[in-house]
């Protein structure tokens, strides 16, 4: 059954998720509570075995099973070809794509007719030539007929598969998640672009493949929403060896014409991409050091921490909120009693706030309100420095979603949310407001959260049937150089009654129910929609409704429940409830 297609996701990958900000093993299935059970191998196959050549006089069923097992060994394609007829072996292109299927409920490969064996199973997702994962719609299936014939008295597979078929129980055994890093529009921050590489490769092979993929530019997930400092045609010379913990990247002469700023950006992209393998890298262009003769021979990862996509500034841990229409600060750092304190020094306190957003440095805020009798999003410092300071209003129409800041102090605003044509605009730090082209395909936006890079968007949407779902998107530009939000990817979640979603240090937080009769709880989800799991410490004595979190590693989630009470998670993963005074607070973290 489709709902059982849960693959194993190793706990050891959690640290890698923190380091790379990328999605981990993209398996989907029944919502689970820290279960580490995995499905059995398809067709009686062994788990994680090395490709074995066909034995003499194998029967047709054994030949098909052997071929499927061999094609899952990404270092053994030549062995897999031994199971094919010479004509099929010559035509087979395993690098085309990997189709990951769920083999957990039934035997995936069954006899169809004489000497024809059919693979038919739910399709979990596909991995393209770049290693980029795409979730499959929940009703998708994979179907292929393996036709067997005789060659010199031995059975061989005569039909040519479209790439590789991989059982979901083999996924994390065979593939390992990494992230390529590209530049945001302002070219001062990196954007993770997750890909998968074969597991257990030597460090040098991993490093070589990562840099080769990096120099190709962003994958289709990011489109032109992110860029690279590497000029077109830049290549890595031969390979990227890793000796004694130091990787050596020798770039072709094409990169010689880079400016000083672009050289630093390219170095940052390389350092962050290679971080899971080595934090020390030598980078040369045509035999000379990328960053100039005066730079160190070996670059350290710590020298490029300012490009961190998680924005590890202390203010991102500060919790704010709205209570009775007034903006509040809620100290959780021990600086005072835990409870909402009105921001009376801000010009925002003069207005009734429907919702509230805070920039990532905690210096400015934005509220959905009415200014001079007109619906607006009002922007102002949280601490007014001059008594003449006033709010800067952005006029709005219809229903307005809670705004969202990115790291450049751009404020993203969705209004007309319930209309047939929702509108997305962005207010720059200087106050200039620009339209962002978007087509929600008839779905209704319920929330928008921008990642700090200003490139990736996370949305809760309602479809025409009234069901809520979560999707990600990318801000890119069209041929007319206009900003547009697109590249939508729906997270295929086994959750119902979803009310909110936000970025977190592990990917995405979602408030939803694992089944209609269950309580709405708080779930961690990878950015590709895989591995939904309960946030540790969540108790069933409250039902989550709205969420507050961000990508800072030290930010712990806060929740408003359906009764209006606020809860926040402490470092020991227990939950604290704001009960004194008993006020309703919509919690907000910077972002």
Round to whole Å and give the CA distance between 410 and 454.
8
Quote the pLDDT of residue 189: 95
Round to whole Å and give the CA distance between 98 and 96.
7
Round to whole Å and give the CA distance between 299 and 302.
9
Q: Is 41 left (phi over 0), alpha (psi -120 to 50) or beta?
A: beta
What three-state secondary structure class fits 182?
strand
Quote the pLDDT of residue 580: 64
Could you read off the pLDDT of 261-296 as tens digits, one per residue? 999 999 999 999 999 999 999 999 988 999 999 999
Quote the pLDDT of residue 50: 81
The helix-helix angle for 260-274 and 203-215 (nearest 10°) equals 140
29 and 102 Cβ atoms separated by less than 8 Å: yes
Residues contacting residue 543 through CB under 8 Å, at least 6 positions apart = 519, 520, 521, 561, 562, 563
Residues contacting residue 497 through CB under 8 Å, at least 6 positions apart = 468, 512, 513, 516, 520
Quote the pLDDT of residue 36: 27
pTM metric for this prediction: 0.86
**What DSSP line would sit under 427-448, residue for residue?**
E-TTS-EEEEEE--TTPEEEEE
Quote the pLDDT of residue 540: 64
Quote the pLDDT of residue 192: 93
158 and 148 Cβ atoms separated by less than 8 Å: yes
237 and 270 Cβ atoms separated by less than 8 Å: no
User: What domains sit in the chain, N to C, each tagged with a CATH number?
Assistant: 2-174 (no CATH), 201-307 (no CATH), 314-588 (2.120.10.30)
Q: How is residue 218 written in tokens?
A: 């962003």
Residue 53 CB neighbours (<10 A): 12
Residues contacting residue 429 through CB under 8 Å, at least 6 positions apart = 408, 409, 410
Q: How is residue 16 written in tokens?
A: 């890698």
Round to whole Å and give the CA distance between 94 and 77.
8
Residues contacting residue 160 through CB under 8 Å, at least 6 positions apart = 84, 88, 91, 92
165 and 97 Cβ atoms separated by less than 8 Å: no
Round to whole Å and give the CA distance between 553 and 311.
9
Q: How is residue 311 written in tokens?
A: 């924005």
247 and 208 Cβ atoms separated by less than 8 Å: no
Residues contacting residue 53 through CB under 8 Å, at least 6 positions apart = 79, 82
> In the chain, which residues have pLDDT < 50?
1-47
Round to whole Å and give the CA distance between 46 and 42.
8
Residues contacting residue 38 through CB under 8 Å, at least 6 positions apart = 6, 7, 8, 169
Q: How is residue 358 written in tokens?
A: 């805070």
| CA end-to-end span of the chain | 39
Round to whole Å and give the CA distance between 374 and 191.
37
Could you read off the pLDDT of 499-526 as tens digits, one per residue? 999 999 878 999 999 999 999 999 998 8
Which residue from 257, 209, 218 is spatially nearest to 234, judged by alpha carbons?
257
């Amino acid at each position: 059954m489709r709902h059982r297609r849960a693959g194993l996701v190793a706990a050891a990958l959690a640290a890698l998720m923190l380091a790379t900000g990328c999605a981990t093993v993209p398996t989907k299935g029944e919502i689970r509570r820290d279960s580490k059970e995995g499905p059995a191998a398809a067709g009686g196959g062994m788990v994680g075995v090395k490709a074995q050549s066909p034995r003499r006089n194998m029967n047709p069923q054994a030949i098909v099973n052997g071929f499927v097992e061999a094609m899952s060994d990404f270092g053994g394609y030549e062995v897999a070809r031994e199971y094919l007829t010479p004509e099929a072996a010559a035509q087979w292109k395993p690098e085309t794509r990997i189709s990951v299927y769920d083999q957990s409920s039934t035997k995936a490969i069954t006899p169809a007719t004489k000497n024809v064996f059919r693979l038919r199973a739910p399709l979990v997702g596909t991995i393209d030539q770049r290693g980029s994962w795409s979730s499959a719609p929940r009703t998708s299936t994979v179907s292929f007929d393996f036709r067997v014939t005789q060659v010199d008295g031995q059975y061989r597979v005569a039909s040519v598969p479209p790439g590789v078929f991989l059982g979901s129980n083999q996924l994390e055994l065979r593939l390992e998640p990494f992230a390529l890093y590209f530049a945001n529009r302002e070219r001062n921050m990196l954007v993770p672009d997750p890909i998968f590489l074969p597991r257990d490769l030597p460090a040098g092979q991993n490093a070589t493949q990562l840099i080769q993929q990096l120099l190709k530019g962003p994958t289709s997930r990011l489109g032109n929403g992110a860029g690279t400092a590497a000029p077109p045609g830049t290549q890595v010379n031969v390979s990227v060896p890793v000796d004694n913990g130091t990787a050596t990247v020798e770039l072709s002469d094409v990169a010689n014409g880079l400016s000083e700023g672009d050289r630093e950006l390219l170095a940052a992209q390389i350092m962050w991409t290679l971080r899971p393998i080595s934090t020390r890298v030598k980078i040369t262009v045509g035999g000379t050091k990328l960053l100039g003769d005066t730079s160190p021979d070996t670059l350290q990862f710590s020298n490029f921490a300012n490009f961190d996509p998680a924005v590890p500034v202390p203010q991102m841990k500060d919790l704010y909120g709205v209570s009775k229409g007034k903006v509040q600060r809620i100290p959780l750092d021990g600086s005072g009693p835990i409870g909402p304190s009105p921001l009376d020094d801000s010009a925002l306190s003069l207005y009734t706030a429907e919702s509230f957003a805070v920039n990532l440095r905690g210096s400015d805020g934005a509220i959905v309100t009415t200014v001079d009798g007109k619906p607006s999003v009002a922007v102002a410092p949280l601490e007014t420095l001059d008594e003449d300071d006033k709010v800067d209003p952005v006029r709005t129409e219809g229903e307005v979603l809670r705004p969202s800041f990115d790291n450049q102090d751009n404020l993203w605003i969705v209004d007309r949310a319930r209309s047939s044509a929702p509108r997305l605009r962005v207010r720059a730090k200087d106050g200039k407001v620009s339209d962002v082209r978007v087509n929600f395909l008839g779905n209704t936006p319920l929330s928008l959260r921008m990642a700090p890079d200003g490139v990736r968007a996370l949305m809760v949407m309602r479809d025409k049937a009234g069901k809520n779902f979560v999707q990600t998107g990318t801000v890119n530009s069209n041929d007319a150089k206009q900003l547009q939000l697109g590249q939508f990817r729906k997270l295929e979640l086994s959750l119902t009654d979803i009310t909110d979603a936000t970025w977190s240090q592990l990917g995405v937080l979602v408030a939803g129910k694992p089944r209609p009769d269950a309580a709405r709880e708080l779930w961690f989800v990878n950015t590709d929609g895989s591995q939904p799991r309960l946030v540790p410490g969540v108790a069933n004595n409250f039902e989550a409704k709205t969420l507050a979190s961000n990508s800072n590693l030290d930010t712990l989630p806060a929740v408003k429940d359906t009764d209006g009470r606020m809860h926040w998670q402490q470092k020991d993963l227990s939950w604290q409830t704001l009960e004194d005074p008993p006020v309703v607070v919509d919690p907000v973290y910077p972002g």
